[in-house]
A and B are shown apart, each in its own frame.
Chain A
C-alpha cells in the first residue's frame, strides 16, 4: 500500500511500509549503502510525517518481508498477542510516542503491552523519537532475569567480564578474569570470545571458568561465545555450560548466514535447560545482535538496518534470554559511520529491545576505522546508564586484544556506578563484600598482594 505526504506543493510518495520506514530512519551509512535512505532532509521528514499517521493495526496487515518467505515474520505474526495489544490498538505510530511518554504509562503498563507490540511498531515509533525520548521510555521498562544472580533490578547495572586472548591461552584469560573480578566486574557473565573453534580448546575454557566459580563460590554464570551447534556438541560431551550464546538477526536469510534457524535455537535452548544449572532462575540464553548484519549478509529484503535489528528481538524473546547485547559499533563505518550514528543506534537498540521485554545490554564500542573515540563511548555509556541499561562490557583497559576493537573497561563501569549510583547484582555484590574486594558501600577496597583471590586463582586456573 502506498503512503504519501504533501509539503508545500510537493507530494512525497512511498511505495510501501518498508520504504516508508527506511526513508523515515535517522541518517546512517548502512542505509545509504543499501540505497534505502532518504535522498534529502525534507524527504526524511516527509516520511516521518506520513509514518506518524500510520495506524498500528496496519503493521499486522502489511508484512515487511512476506510471511511465506521468512520464519522471523511468521514468528512475529504468530506470537502477536491481541489481548495485550487491545489497550493501544486504536493508536497511530505518532500516538504511540505520545502514549509511551505519558506519566501514567508506567513499568506495569509497558510490561503489559509488550507482547502486543511487534518489532516493526517499535522500530517505527523509535524513528519519531528523540534521544531523550528513547532514554525516558526505556528507563521505565523493567526486565528482570535470573540464573545464579538477579539482573535488571531498577538502580542496578551489571558487567559482562570479557577476558579474551588472541590464542585462547588459559593463563592469559585467567589473568584478565582475575583483573576484572578484583575490579568488581562479572555479575552479568564471564564471557569469552574464543579465537579457536576446536572443541578441546573450548572445553578447557568452560572447565577453567567453572572451577574458579565453584572454588570461590561466585554467584555468576559463564559463557564461551562460539557457534551454537558447537555448544550443543559440548553439552553432549559433558562441558559445564551455564549460558548458551548465539549471534542472531532479524531475517531468516541472515540467520541462515550465521548458520542458525529457529529450530536450531530451540534445540540449543532445550539442551541448556536440560542441564538445570541455574540456581535462582532458568534464563539460559545469551544473544548478540547489531545493526547492519542483515545488509552485510545480503539478507535485508530492502528493510532498513534499524528495523531489521528490531526484528532480531522477536527471535530473542522467543527464548527468554538472561542477556541480550547489541554490539553497536563493531560492524564498522560503512554501517554506522561516526560517534553520532553509533550513539543514536545504541539508544534505539536499547529502547526497542526493552519495550519488547528483553534484558538489554550494550557493547558500547567502535573500531579504528570509524570516526569515533573514547569521548563518544563516554557519552553513549552515560546516556545508556541514564536509560537503565541492564549491562555493559568490561574489558581490561577497554582494549580487546583478540577482536581488535575498543569497548568499555572495568574503570568505565566504576565511573558509571559512581556518577549514577548504580549497584551490582545483589548476590554478586554480597560476594564481593565477603571477599573483601568491596566495602559495604560497594566501593572498591585496596587489594593487597596477599589477597585470597590473587593468591589462589592463578593456581586453580593453571596460570601460576
Chain B
C-alpha cells in the first residue's frame, strides 16, 4: 500500500516501551488501512479463541503420552452460547459426571482440572508444558494424580470435581478472557480443601501464563511454591501470600 497517503507519526521509537498501539499515523482523522486490518486480525483471533472448541481427544492423547492419568467431565452448560450467558451453569459439574467421579480412585493428594474457559487455545497450547514443568518441581504420587478435562467449565467447576475426588488441594488451569494482544493466556487457581460453594477469596490465582507473559518455568515455580505452602498451612486464598522469589529462579535459570 502507498505510504505517501498516510500522515506518519515520527515517534515510532517509543514503541520500545509499550505494546500499546501508538504512532499509528492517520489518513485525515482516521486510521490508515493497514492499522484497521491489523486490528481486525487481532480481534478475529481473540473471537476465535472464545468460540473454538477445545480438542479434548488430542489433549487427552498428549497427556497420556506424557504419563498423566486423565478423566473427562462437563459442566451444566450444554453449549458455548449457554456458557457465555449463564456463568452459573459453567460453574456446576454435571450430575452424571459427579456420579462418575465418585466411583473413581480418589485423588492421592492433589487434583488438577484443565477447563476450556474463555480460551481453548490457551489450554491447548500451554497446559501440558506447564504441567510438565510443575511435575519436575512438585513431588507427589503423579501416577495416580487425576488430571480432569472439563468441558464448558468455569473456575468453580473445580470445586465439585475436587470434592468428588476428595482432593486435599485443587489446581484449576483455565483459558482466560482473551485480549487483543493476548488471545491465549492461561490462568491458574489453587483451592485448598475444595468444596462446592467455595468463595473466590479462598483461592490463589496466577494469571497470564504464556511464553510472552508469565513463562512456564516461572509459572511452575510460583505454582509449586503456593501448592507447598497451601498444603503446609492447610489454607489458600487471601491468607496465603505469594512470597516466591521470582528473581532467584530467574538467575538460577
Contact = CB atoms under 8 A, between A and B. Distances in A.
A446 B47 contact: no
Contact of A163 (B20, B23, B49, B84): B20
A449 B23 CA distance: 12
Interface in B88-134: 88, 118
A417 B18 CA distance: 28
A447 interface: yes
Contact of B181 (A369, A401, A411): A401
Given A368-B47, A368-B49, A369-B118, A397 B21 contact: yes
Interface of B: 7, 9-11, 14-15, 17-24, 26, 28-31, 35, 39, 42-43, 46-47, 49-50, 84-88, 118, 177-183
A171 B179 contact: no
Contacts of B85: 29, 32-33, 333-334, 337
Contacts of A409: 21, 31
B43 A397 contact: no
Interface of A: 29, 32-33, 163-165, 169, 171-176, 178-179, 182, 332-334, 337, 367-369, 373-374, 395-399, 401, 404-406, 409, 411, 414-415, 417-418, 444, 446-449, 454, 458, 463
Nearest to B178: A368
Contact of A447 (B10, B30, B180, B182): B10
Contacts of A164: 20
Contacts of A367: 177
28 contacts: A32-B85, A33-B88, A163-B20, A165-B20, A172-B18, A175-B22, A176-B18, A178-B14, A332-B177, A334-B86, A337-B85, A368-B178, A397-B22, A397-B31, A398-B21, A398-B39, A401-B180, A404-B177, A406-B43, A409-B31, A414-B30, A418-B29, A444-B26, A444-B29, A446-B7, A447-B9, A448-B10, A449-B10
Given A175-B20, A368-B177, A463 B29 contact: no
Given A176-B20, A179-B11, A418-B29, 9 more contacts: A169-B18, A172-B20, A175-B22, A179-B20, A369-B118, A401-B179, A415-B30, A454-B11, A463-B17
Contacts of B20: 163-165, 172, 175-176, 179, 395-397, 399, 401
10 smallest CB-CB distances across A and B, nearest first, come from: A397-B21, A404-B179, A414-B29, A172-B18, A449-B10, A175-B14, A179-B22, A368-B46, A171-B17, A396-B20
A411 B17 contact: no
Contacts, number: 130
A334 B87 contact: yes
Contacts of B181: 399, 401
Contacts of A337: 84-85
B39 A397 contact: yes
A176 B22 CA distance: 6
Nearest to A411: B31
Contact of A396 (B7, B22, B118): B22
A463 B20 CA distance: 15
A448 B15 CA distance: 17
A284 B250 CA distance: 44
A178 B20 CA distance: 12
Contact of A369 (B21, B31, B177, B180): B177
Contacts of B42: 399
Contacts of A463: 14, 17
